[in-house]
Amino acid sequence: MKVCELVALLQGVDPHSTVLFLEDYSDLSETDEILDVIVPDQPWTYETGRCGRELYSVRYPETFEQRSEADGYRDVVHTAERVVLLVNGVSNFRRMSLPERPHR
């Protein structure tokens, strides 16, 4: 989902609504409240490819990591993308001292 899609979905919503997070395949009673929003200052890497016979995709805050065919990686593609993190608890983003955009 892109930020513009999220903003469009939230238009007209009661601004005092609580923002919750629901993990894949969770029961509705397993929601967590979003406690923080982090907007990293630097783009993240989105990587897709194959490892062995399996397709994979991963996002990480560092520049792309070169993958070796000797380790079973192939068809690896890297792109840089801006991200927004919705956080429902403590994360290691700030402990890693990664730059972020200040809240307005």
Counting the structural domains of the chain, the total is: 2
Of the pLDDT bands very low, low, confident and very high (cuts 50, 70, 90), residue 27 is confident
Would residue 37 count as lying in a domain? yes
User: Do 34 and 58 share a domain, yes or no?
Assistant: no
Does a structural domain hold residue 87?
yes
d(CA 80, CA 44): 6
Range of the domain at 87: 23-41+82-104
71 and 53 in a single domain? The answer is yes
Task: Write the pLDDT tens digit of every residue in 43-98.
Answer: 999 999 999 999 999 999 988 878 888 899 999 999 999 999 998 887 788 788 88
pLDDT range class, residue 104, cuts 50, 70, 90:
low
What does the block give as tokens for 86?
Answer: 């919705």
Q: Would 6 be classed as within a structural domain?
A: no
Supply 29's token pair: 């009673």
In a domain, 70, yes or no: yes
Residue 68's pLDDT is 86
DSSP notation for 5-45: HHHHHHTTS-TTPPPEE--TT--GGG-EE--EEE-BSSPEE
